[in-house]
Amino acid sequence: AEKFKIKEILEELHIQAMNEGSSTGIQSFSSGEIIQSFSPVDGQLIASVVASTEADYQKVIETAKKAFNEFKQIPAPKRGEIVRQFADKLRNKKEALGKLVSYEMGKSLQEGYGEVQEMIDICDFAVGLSRQLHGLTMHSERPNHRMYEQYHPLGIIGIISAFNFPVAVWSWNAALAWICGNVCVWKPSEKTPLCAIACQNIMAEVIKENNLPEGISSLINGDYQLGEYLTNDTAIPLISATGSTKMGKIIAQKVAARLGKSLLELGGNNAIIVTPNADLKMTIMGAVFGAVGTAGQRCTSTRRLIIHESIFDQVKDALQKAYQQLRIGNPLDENNHVGPLIDQDAVANYAKALSKIVLEGGRIVVEGGILTGSGYESNCYVKPAIVIAENTFETVQQETFAPILYLIKYSGDVTNAIAIQNNVPQGLSSSIMTSNLREAELFLSTNGSDCGIANVNIGTSGAEIGGAFGGEKETGGGRESGSDAWKIYMRRQTNTINYATTLPLAQGIKFEL
């Protein structure tokens, strides 16, 4: 394997982290506390970043306001051209940015590149969309009247993103927000500030090369306090936030209190139903990737397998075998399947969930544990675990961001499995493994999965950008990325035009002077 040189990668991405906590596209500044970014891969300090203060925040917002007044005048297809140029640069930087994602966040190199690919894909989608921000034309009930609707930009979009997808989730929001004529202020996770600086630097080049107003894309680094400035600020009409349900509930209430809009993408508790008609080879592949990919730190990670009793032991044995083959270690080494958790807090949460579920009556099938010694110096590496559990256990009802898979038995027909699948507070992703048409269609029907994502013969994670992404219940209800998710980044206006010489009223009301 080629040697990994972080210095060269930081250089290629123009990261001089110390003074780059805040950035308005051209200027970088910051005067707050120091955030140190440690790699969970080897525990090394990668770089330090100076966080933004409230004064820095105010400066960012003033710049963003000015930028919006200019940017909204640019025709949407021209804004699409800006996003096209951004995607071009991402294609050139895919390797460096993918490596930084992998090193700062800890996901496998393949998944790091995959995340950058997701950015490129959403940009392509947004470019096409920039010529398709369609509204409808309606027939007026009055003669010689025309009625139609149009979509206008909203303003400054606040984007709060999580550590687990440190670059892709921002780009789903930013690419759409930009083609819609908005400007963006990004508050990334304080666990992955360098990935954010790298993305901001790439977009800053596009801004400079096109002589666009600074402030189309801004970055503020720091802790939850900066997120609060955004959520409380009436200058921000839309907050798009990805993270825990706990965080989402706080944001939702704060934004609602000022009648702002929010787009929330929160916790999942995703299940695969395995019926007697499942293709077991596909099931094992889908379940193992879903449970241990990104070390179980995707909001779409597979947490639960709901297996029919007639094949329960067979599936369990096959999973045990598959887990024996998993290689845990440095995610930059492409021979490894499972990398580290993000930090030692995450390791503690993993350990807590495993000891609690045993007290609740869970039976360990594949033992977990924290890895130490050579190659595991960061103390962030854990063994993926499998536990036979009941859906009603408290631990099973909660999302633990770690590679723990719960096996749950069902009997009778698939309606029982669907009831178990829906019986959790979260509603993000779900899937069924079956080649039986009736089971599959029932699962997708109104009596089926209550999640925002429902798949057949595919695992719960790894959604494409073309569909709307998000979920119901405690997942927060937001939809981002594909389909018509762009509409939330715009305000809809209904226009009625009278080209008659009289003034007829709607509903046939007569009013004469």
Does 54 participate in catalysis according to the annotation?
A: no
Residue the block writes with tokens 């010529």: 131
Point out which residues pair with 385 in neighbouring strands. 404
Determine if 298 is a binding residue for ligand UN1 (CB under 6 A). Answer: yes
Point out which residues pair with 361 in neighbouring strands. none
Residue among 20, 111, 214, 265 flagged as catalytic? 265
467 Cβ neighbours under 8 A, 6+ residues apart: 453, 481, 482, 483
Q: Count residues binding ligand UN1 (CB under 6 A).
A: 10
Q: What CA–CA distances, in Å, run from 183 to 24, 206, 214, 308? A: 11, 14, 10, 50
Determine if 170 is a binding residue for ligand UN1 (CB under 6 A). Answer: no
Query: Which CB atom, from 56 or from 115, has the smaller least distance to ligand UN1?
Result: 115
Least gap, CB of 475 to ligand UN1 (angstroms)? 10
Q: Which residue is nearest to ligand UN1 (CB)?
A: 463
Only segment of 61-69, 164-172, 375-383, 501-509 that touches ligand UN1 (CB under 6 A): 164-172
Sites for ligand UN1 among residues 459-498 (CB under 6 A): 461-463
Determine if 130 is a binding residue for ligand UN1 (CB under 6 A). Answer: no
The answer to whether 454 and 431 are in contact (CB under 8 A) is yes
Determine if 119 is a binding residue for ligand UN1 (CB under 6 A). Answer: no
Determine if 164 is a binding residue for ligand UN1 (CB under 6 A). Answer: yes
CA distance 443 to 456: 9
Least gap, CB of 118 to ligand UN1 (angstroms)? 6
CA distance 233 to 251: 12
The DSSP output letter for 4 is P
**476 phi and psi angles, rounded to 5 deg:** 110, -15
In one letter, which amino acid is 166? P
Determine if 245 is a binding residue for ligand UN1 (CB under 6 A). Answer: no
Among 151, 165, 170, 393, the residue binding ligand UN1 under the rule CB under 6 A is: 165
Closest CA to 403 of 290, 237, 249, 265: 290
Determine if 169 is a binding residue for ligand UN1 (CB under 6 A). Answer: yes
In one letter, which amino acid is 346? A
Among 221, 269, 283, 300, the residue binding ligand UN1 under the rule CB under 6 A is: 300
Query: Which CB atom, from 79 or from 107, has the smaller least distance to ligand UN1?
Result: 107
Among 299, 382, 396, 488, the residue binding ligand UN1 under the rule CB under 6 A is: 299
Least gap, CB of 108 to ligand UN1 (angstroms)? 13
CA distance 67 to 251: 26
For the stretch 303-319, what's the b/e string if a residue is b when 16 or more beta carbons lie within 10 angstroms of its beta carbon?
bbbbbbeebbeebbebb
Query: Which CB atom, from 59 or from 304, has the smaller least distance to ligand UN1?
Result: 304
Reduced DSSP (H G I as helix, E B as strand, rest coil) percent helix, strand, coil of the chain, to 5? 40, 20, 40
Sign of the dihedral through C-alpha 387, 390, 394, 396: positive
Query: Which CB atom, from 174 or from 206, has the smaller least distance to ligand UN1?
Result: 174
Among 28, 37, 242, 400, the residue binding ligand UN1 under the rule CB under 6 A is: 242
Least gap, CB of 114 to ligand UN1 (angstroms)? 8
The catalytic residues are 265
Binding interface with ligand UN1 (CB under 6 A)? 164-165, 169, 242, 298-300, 461-463
